[in-house]
Amino acid sequence: MAKKIAVLGSINVDTTYHVQRFPMPGETISAGSKSSAPGGKGANQAVAAARSGAKTWFIGMVGADNEGKFMREALQEDHIDTKLIGIDELHGTGTALITLDAEGQNDIMVYGGANQAMTTEVLKNADAVFEEIDFLISQFETPQAVTAEAFKQAKEHGVTTILNPAPAHEILPELLQYTDVVIPNDSESFVLTGIKITDEDSMLKSAEWFKQQGAKNLLITLGSKGVFYCTPHGHGMVPAFKVKAVDTTAAGDTFIGALASQLDDDLSNVADALVYAQRASSLTVQKMGAMPSIPTGEEVKAALAE
């Protein structure tokens, strides 16, 4: 049966400049080309979940502008329910400026806009959705206070909450108290815990730190090394798939959305779900753009069968 997932998070229109290399401080360089596409960590994660077969809702904010209309329509094209996307009359829709080099690496500047202006008002009609869903996912591109309130409400309905603390910065203590699964990368984990990720022991210590804060399940993404997981069912590593990356934008978001689409509520199938999520992410990095590069469930399953 298809999973039911809501994503509370950011909506951005991504503009990508394609360059041979990143500029030095004070240097002006030429971009070979420029492209625009729907994006934002929250929107990407929702699309990844929906394309992998999950029934998906989105909770967020856009501006009263063309970009906001464009983003709502983009989500609807993937059959994502957008009724809980509010319209902010004072702030524009979020945007991201991405510089992508010839090796497929990127740096990103984000204008939060309506994403950062979001308040708990966006949750006023969310109870009916929380009553239906299996998982609620959020990130750090929208206010943590809104996420904390959403997670608290969702927990009252028996929903499993998933936090992707990216981009990493100081975390509200109460947020982790309502978090079931936390999914940072190694650098984000270090920012939050102060524990440098070097080996299995450091990852287990990180898992214990998160557990003491309230989050019982930890997944640390390690790029080309794979994913470490620690849950009450056990811990281990799931290796990454080796591919040539063209554009790493949305790789992590694809991983999280795809993972949630496969995960059992009690996380008992976490290792298998991680293999699926890793494969989905490996397909994303082989194409250009954020949302356009996210694979369907059929594409992931075909790749796994190779």
Is 127 annotated among the ligand-binding residues?
A: no
Judge whether 152 is annotated as a binding position.
no
State the CB neighbour count (10 A cutoff) for residue 168: 16
266 given a catalytic annotation:
no
Considering 88, 134, 180, 253, which one is annotated as catalytic? 253
Number of H helices, E strands in the chain: 10, 13
User: How would you class 83 by CB atoms within 10 Å of its CB: exposed for 0-12, middle for 13-18, buried for 19 or more?
Assistant: exposed
Q: Is 43 annotated as a binding residue?
A: yes
Q: Is 9 annotated as a binding residue?
A: no
* Maximum separation of any 2 CA atoms in the chain, in Å: 54
Question: In sequence order, what E strands does the chain have?
Answer: 4-8, 12-18, 33-39, 55-63, 81-88, 94-100, 106-111, 135-138, 160-163, 181-182, 217-221, 227-231, 234-238
141 appears as a binding residue in the annotation? yes
107 is in an annotated binding site: no
Q: Which two tokens stand for residue 254?
A: 């694809």
Ligand-binding annotation for 93, yes or no, is: no
268 is in an annotated binding site: no
Q: Is 284 annotated as a binding residue?
A: yes
Contact (Cβ atoms closer than 8 angstroms) between residue 222 and residue 199: no
Tell whether residue 196 is among the known ligand binding residues.
no
**Which residues are annotated binding-site positions for ATP?**
185, 221-226, 252-253
**Which residues are annotated binding-site positions for K(+)?**
247, 249, 284, 287, 289, 293
**Which residues are annotated binding-site positions for substrate?**
12-14, 40-44, 141, 253
Residues labelled catalytic: 253
**Which residues are annotated binding-site positions?**
12-14, 40-44, 141, 185, 221-226, 247, 249, 252-253, 284, 287, 289, 293
